[in-house]
Amino acid sequence: MFFFSNKKYSLFAAGVRKCPDHVPLYQAWACLELRSEDFKKAKILITEALTRDKSTGSGWLVAAKIEEQLGNDGLKGLILRRGIECAPGSAQLYCALAEFEVSRGKFDIARTLLEKGLEIDPLHAPLYHSFAELEARVFNIEGLSTLNKRAAAVFSNNRNAVTSKDTIKILGNKLKKNSKSRRKLPSGVAALASLTSEDIDIEEIITDLTLDPDEIIRDLTISDDTIFMD
């Protein structure tokens, strides 16, 4: 077991000493370190979490966020893909990977991922938001209309109905107004227009069957500045 000597995190340290296999505790601590931009400690902690449980989607999301903050976009995409392999029931992972693919201009791949995510959890509102932004990004008015009807049917008796349906309607209306000028993107979509740079060939790596989740975890591990205690 390990802990960091900073007194600021004494409660977290006490928690992992008492419950060394409590994965959410490692994840929460990693998120705190991420917010403090201490990426080395965040990596160590999320590595511990993933070593104990690879089937939790939130752990892979944190690991991907760390790499995003470090500017490692290629590794971020790879982590999200491996996360889906290990936690296939996580709609959040499908949503995150779809948004990543949109940022790379891979709209068809993103659409497939969003569809799979909705198959897993048809009530996951962020998937509809991401789907709407994707269709608006490619000026697919028909697709937005279909998505709006789909969301209306699914959320007819759900508290999230207003948020999901109205988001899609707003994007659709703005898209119609701006259809003559593709320079005017709907609100919330402009942020997706900037493509991230690629530092590795993702397609080539994900087809390498020798690369398993354990290798991803080993790659994330940083051994220096780590204090291990029996």
**Considering only 96-100, 185-189, 194-198, which range has the smallest mean pLDDT?**
194-198
149 pLDDT exceeds 60? Answer: yes
**Considering only 14-18, 155-159, 208-212, which range has the smallest mean pLDDT?**
208-212
Query: What's the pLDDT score for residue 177?
Result: 52
Q: How many other CB atoms are there within 10 angstroms of residue 10's CB atom? A: 12
Mean pLDDT of 95-111: 96
Query: What's the pLDDT score for residue 64?
Result: 97
Mean pLDDT of 69-96: 96
Share of the chain above pLDDT 90, in %: 49
206 pLDDT exceeds 90? Answer: no
Mean pLDDT of 209-220: 46
Query: What's the pLDDT score for residue 104?
Result: 94
103 pLDDT exceeds 70? Answer: yes
Instruction: Provide the mean pLDDT of the chain.
Output: 75
Cα(79)–Cα(87) distance, integer angstroms: 12
Mean pLDDT of 39-48: 94
Query: What's the pLDDT score for residue 66?
Result: 96
Query: What's the pLDDT score for residue 13?
Result: 83
**Considering only 105-114, 116-125, 142-151, which range has the smallest mean pLDDT?**
142-151
Query: What's the pLDDT score for residue 194?
Result: 33
Domains in the chain: ranges and CATH = 1-104+196-224 (1.25.40.10), 105-194 (no CATH)
Q: Model-level pTM? A: 0.68
Query: What's the pLDDT score for residue 89?
Result: 95
**Considering only 34-38, 184-188, 218-222, which range has the smallest mean pLDDT?**
184-188
**Considering only 72-76, 152-156, 181-185, which range has the smallest mean pLDDT?**
181-185
